[in-house]
Structure 1
Amino acid sequence: MQKIVLASGNRKKVAELTQLLAQFQLQVIPQTDLNVEDVPETGTTFVENAIIKARHAAEVTGLPAIADDSGIEVDYLDGQPGIYSARFSGKHGDDQANNELLLEKLQGVPSEQRTARYQCVLVFMQHAKDPTPLICQGAWEGRIMTEEVGEGGFGYDPLFWSEEHQCSAAQLEPEQKAAISHRGKALQELMQKLSESIA
């Protein structure tokens, strides 16, 4: 099996990608296992940040790399928090503080104006100097609720209302979420592109 580095230490992402990419004889290794430090995300778009992360991981390890950059866009807030979703409240990865700040900014805003979507961009690079990385994107439309509901998922999931299932993203089973989520859609596109490039 060919090894491929995932530009993340997120075990949930590693498990998900490992399972999906096994059919392509690709073994996913998180960058933390290879002593790759996080790289500053200096891009202004999800695409730029995903490329920065994939290139850095490929450069340090000499392996092909996959990176994702994702976040939530709220229409009422002109697309915020967007690429700053994980550090919306000022501290990286503090889901509770991020959710509280989002609720605060949407206080009193009626339901029909609380439309939002999760975005995910996945990038696959053969090597650090790959001039044509595979870029895949997925979006998941929904709405921001007025309070947190559900114990599953992570990030803004307890606040994200899914029309398809009439519940919050945090109330979905992992399999249900993977089938309709932004990351699930981007992964499906990546699998399609990998199939074509390997065929």
Structure 2
Amino acid sequence: MKQAYSLQVFILLLLAAACKGPEAKQGNTPPDTPLVVNTPPASSAMASNIVTTADYEIAIPQGWVRKDRVSGAYNLVMLVAPRADNYSPNLNVLRDNMNGKSLDGYIRTNLEKMATMNLKDQRAGDMSINGVHGKYLTYSYQIEGREISIKTYVVPKDGFAFVLTASCLLSQSATYMPQFDKLADTFKLK
């Protein structure tokens, strides 16, 4: 489990670094320039843009793109928003073996391991996606001088955790976190 979690953290950091712009600094949009983003339409309007895998389906908001990545044993599906302030907000989905742990045990183990990292504003709570009980985690961290905000949704099924990890710049949180919640609400296990 420790190796699996370490791989998840590595993937998260790698994805966050990959989403930074070439200048790798925050604030490339002048302060008086409004942040322009494509707000996901209502779930019914997303229906024509659905990612379907053997395990789940999730909507792709209008203007976002799908990028598939393989990292070790993980097949990641990334949904990437248009670049804003030299960063591409995104939500990625992976399936992780819970190794016989309950959902609470899986979350507790991951939170304990995260405690050794330099993460800020860690929070966890209960949530439900399409009638399936899950947990969420929120936190922020700094990478290469950029403050990144993360929200992770964890939904269990048949001994696996389906982990949806959303990231944006901390300065974009007010805009993107509600969008990530709407996007997570379209996630359906098969």
The structure with the greater share of residues assigned to helix is 1
Q: TM-score, normalised by structure 1?
A: 0.27
The structure with the greater share of residues assigned to strand is 2
Q: Relative contact order: is structure 1 or structure 2 higher (C-alpha 8 Å, sep ≥ 6)? A: 2
Q: TM-score, normalised by structure 2?
A: 0.28
Please identify the structure whose Cα radius of gyration is greater.
1
